[in-house]
Amino acid sequence: MSLGCPKNLVDSEVMMGLLDRAGAEMTSDVEAAEILVVNTCSFIDAAKQESVDTILEMAQHKVAGRARRLIVAGCLVERYRDEIQKNIPEVDAVVGTGELEEILAAAGLDRPRPVVEEPSPFTILNAGPESQGPGPSTRPEGDLRESQGRFSRTAWDGAEAHLPQYLYDHTTPRLLATKKASAYIKIAEGCDHPCSFCVIPNLRGKFRSRRFESVIAEAESLVAQGVREITLIGQDTTCYGEDLGLKDGLAQLLDRLAAIPNLNWLRFLYAYPNKITGRLLETMAKHENICSYLDVPLQHASGPVLKSMKRGANAEIFLKTIEKVREAVPGIALRTSFIVGFPGETEEDFETLCDFVRLAKFDWLGVFGYSDEEGSRAFGLESKVPARTIERRKRELMKIQQRISKRAKAAWVGKELDVLVEGESDETPLLWEGRSEFHAPEIDGKVFINDFGAFEELHVGRFYRCEITEVHDYDVVARVVAKSGNQL
């Protein structure tokens, strides 16, 4: 059971790959499983609660069902290692984000033989499987950010003092859990940014990039297996390669990946606003198979709040960035997310944010209420915003976005788009659903297909040319007009 973000999903896929190579058989049927693994998330309170509820539910299967071992993995372990084992005796073993290979010992299976890698043209400074020997540090920007950030976990009960360092590579076995034709590649792990509301650096460790050639090799192998859409992920993909001494590392990586034959769509999540370089945008504009899509979590738009969040910038700077992006990649879909109710956020700050959202007209937008997380710098801040105010602000901001989205979607009617078909709709078997290049997997709205055109049936994992016939606030309805030129 994999909870949380796509980064956690890749960790689950790696653990499944390791278990599979060691001879275990995978099943999603909890009744039939002998070993249950819950890969947890502990980003905010709601995620922690979902993780604990799932562990308790699985513990019931161990008491009353066939299961004989319960393993808890992931971010919750990094934070509450001792407490989980102390308070939930049904849990047999825990596996942190920095020790994925321990899943084998936790499951009572032997370790796989170590795989010897080809030497890399780059000096790798990370520890873990990607660390192949000593070398001088080439991460000046990372070191600077690290000195401004928080990398101490000593205050957390049960967390180990050292930070996770693991990072998989192309030789690590992995079983995909994503929908057909689509896969994630984690290109970096950890984060050196000092955002004061965030505990991710404490859960996932310092920023470290995978080596360039390892990412290319993994992408080639995925495409050879039939994957047609690759989404590069990391807490901040725009910092990719800084620790390897690369300048514009993400742009260089995209350039190489876009040249892989039969890779139809390539995208990356997430961009840090001041790391969107001219070279990155040029690269996006240059390659047809790099999706016109950018997810740049801005978190807020009021200068004082952003300063207190330890992120900097303001609405004016962000509007200039957005203009630059839209000029360089016309028609690009922009996604962002905001936190409302950060300590000290006034009505005026919130109004600044609302005005900014009205002007920026994002295609997709997520709003989170501030969650007070122990271990973050913001935890110690005064002037906490009451929960009811946070809820109201969240609702108001989403309402503004709903109007923007509705108006923008209306202009989609009559448009033709390539749609990657993902199967029957979860909502009704009368509709099928898919995504366009403007929809990232699992995050944005959907394209519902109610008319197959000249086709008797559609195939999951294939691209079709579709015409948008109807729009809702976030989702659109389409009819198939032809096979896509993207079809292989």
Q: At residue 273, what are phi and psi to the nearest 5 degrees?
A: -55, -40
Q: Which is nearer to ligand SF4, 182 or 209 (CB)?
A: 209
> Smallest gap, in angstroms, from Cβ of residue 251 to ligand SF4?
19
> Smallest gap, in angstroms, from Cβ of residue 389 to ligand SF4?
22
Q: Which is nearer to ligand SF4, 97 or 235 (CB)?
A: 235
> Smallest gap, in angstroms, from Cβ of residue 434 to ligand SF4?
29
Q: Which is nearer to ligand SF4, 228 or 275 (CB)?
A: 275
Q: At residue 425, what are phi and psi to the nearest 5 degrees?
A: -70, 145
Do 227 and 221 form a contact (C-beta atoms < 8 A)? no
Instruction: List the Cα angle 295/298/301 in 5-degree steps.
Output: 145
> Smallest gap, in angstroms, from Cβ of residue 344 to ligand SF4?
18
> Smallest gap, in angstroms, from Cβ of residue 436 to ligand SF4?
26
Element (H, E) at 348: helix 347-360
> Smallest gap, in angstroms, from Cβ of residue 23 to ligand SF4?
36
Do 1 and 39 form a contact (C-beta atoms < 8 A)? yes
> Smallest gap, in angstroms, from Cβ of residue 342 to ligand SF4?
12
Q: Which is nearer to ligand SF4, 296 or 315 (CB)?
A: 296
Cβ neighbours of 38 (radius 10 Å): 24
> Smallest gap, in angstroms, from Cβ of residue 311 to ligand SF4?
7
> Smallest gap, in angstroms, from Cβ of residue 443 to ligand SF4?
16
Q: Which is nearer to ligand SF4, 165 or 484 (CB)?
A: 165
Q: Which is nearer to ligand SF4, 272 or 412 (CB)?
A: 272
Question: How far apart (Å, rounded) are the C-alpha atoms in residues 54 and 3?
Answer: 9
Q: Which is nearer to ligand SF4, 292 or 337 (CB)?
A: 337
How far is CA 226 from its chain centroid?
Answer: 22
> Smallest gap, in angstroms, from Cβ of residue 422 to ligand SF4?
28
Q: Which is nearer to ligand SF4, 197 or 412 (CB)?
A: 197
Do 340 and 367 form a contact (C-beta atoms < 8 A)? yes
List Cα–Cα distances, 198 to 203, 370, 379, in angstroms: 10, 10, 10
Question: How far apart (Å, rounded) are the C-alpha atoms in residues 108 and 106?
Answer: 5
> Smallest gap, in angstroms, from Cβ of residue 210 to ligand SF4?
17
Q: Which is nearer to ligand SF4, 195 or 476 (CB)?
A: 195
Q: Which is nearer to ligand SF4, 198 or 367 (CB)?
A: 198
List Cα–Cα distances, 420 to 229, 286, 361, 427, 453, in angstroms: 9, 22, 26, 18, 16
Instruction: List the Cα angle 342/200/115 in 5-degree steps.
Output: 165
Torsion-angle region of 442 (φ positive above 0: left; ψ -120 to 50: alpha; else: beta): left
Q: Which is nearer to ligand SF4, 12 or 196 (CB)?
A: 196
> Smallest gap, in angstroms, from Cβ of residue 200 to ligand SF4?
4
Task: For 137-188, give the DSSP string.
Answer: ---HHHHHHHHHS----TTSTT--SSPP-----TTS-----SPTTEEEEE-E
Task: For 425-466, give the DSSP string.
Answer: -SS-TT-EEEE-TTS-TTTS--EEEEE-TT-S---TT-EEEE
Q: Site residues (CB under 6 A) for ligand SF4?
A: 191, 193, 195, 198, 200-201, 235-236, 272
Question: How far apart (Å, rounded) are the C-alpha atoms in residues 299 and 306?
Answer: 8
Q: Do β-strands 416-424 and 432-435 pair in parallel, antiparallel, or remain unpaired?
A: antiparallel
* Of 338, 400, 323, the residue nearest 368 (C-alpha): 338
Q: Is the dihedral of CA 408, 410, 411, 417 positive or negative?
A: positive
DSSP letter at 346? -
* Of 366, 318, 362, 370, the residue nearest 345 (C-alpha): 370
Q: Which is nearer to ligand SF4, 306 or 447 (CB)?
A: 306
